[in-house]
Copies of this chain bind each other. A is one copy, B any other.
């Protein structure tokens, strides 16, 4: 077997992978605005590249399964090009990926999720699978928030996040050919720029979602110019390392 991508395996190779590679990594992305400088597929690209790196590090004990190129992005629909699934449909797709893989014998699935809008739905799928498929292990991991310590070490704006310093840095490292350096401009960078509802939506304990056009005129939170590919490499290395550690423990459990 020369690749860890299930899509590129034959069915006979897949049959062997059930035993040799008991962990399936499912990359989950989004198809949504990422400001004037990053492509719509930013989250999918990060998820797929990280999944590849994790699989490489696991050296044959994991395969990368079918991707989820479109996620849950209703809050970005105000920006052209955003394609979203409802939470119900996204959940159904994830569940049917999982149950198909389960049918062939896999018992460990880890969704590598590049888009925060998918988090809640992934958790609901995990909850429902506890009852319907009690012998299936189903986990999901975010990306950037796994390395919040690394972000904290970067020089980020007071307000930062979507398409901002940390995300742009990752894309610079993983897919620089898709970053329009000349078009990267700051979005909302200071709390004072947020209206009262926008401020409430950034509360750390209480959840109050608002559409992104309420938070930022250009869809960006933070200043993407304030990071570089080295930051991106640090972030990705940390993310990959922590997912690999988790996977190693899981495979050994």
Chain A residues with a Cβ under 8 A of chain B: 6-15, 17-18, 31, 33-41, 44, 65-67, 69-70, 72, 74-75, 77, 79-89, 91-93, 96-97, 100-101, 103-105, 110, 117, 119-124, 126-128, 130-131, 134, 137-142, 145-146, 178, 180, 183, 195-197, 199-200, 203, 205-211, 219, 242-243, 246, 249-250, 252-253
Assess the B7–A69 pair: CB atoms within 8 A: yes
| In contact, B11 and A81 (Cβ under 8 angstroms) | yes
Contact of A127 among B12, B120, B122 (CB under 8 A): B120
A sample of 18 inter-chain contacts (CB < 8 A) reads A7-B40, A7-B69, A8-B40, A10-B36, A15-B80, A66-B69, A72-B124, A82-B100, A87-B124, A88-B88, A92-B92, A122-B207, A123-B209, A124-B124, A137-B197, A139-B206, A199-B249, A200-B253
- Given A10-B180, A130-B210: 20 more A-B contacts, CB < 8 Å: A7-B69, A10-B40, A10-B183, A12-B36, A15-B80, A70-B93, A70-B97, A75-B127, A83-B100, A86-B128, A119-B120, A120-B120, A126-B209, A141-B207, A142-B205, A200-B246, A200-B249, A200-B250, A206-B242, A208-B250
Q: A208 contacts B139, CB within 8 Å?
A: yes
In the bound complex, residues from chain B placing their C-beta under 8 Å from that of A131 are 74, 77, 86
Residues of B within 8 A of A203 (CB): 246
Shortest beta-carbon distance, A107 to chain B, in Å? 11
Copies of this chain present: 6
Do B84 and A100 touch across chains, with their CB atoms under 8 A apart?
yes
In the complex, the answer to whether B10 meets A253 with C-beta atoms within 8 Å is no
Min CB distance A67 to B, Å, is: 6
Identify A39's interface contact among B9, B84, B117, B178, CB under 8 A.
B9
Complex CA distance for A138 and B211, rounded to whole angstroms: 12
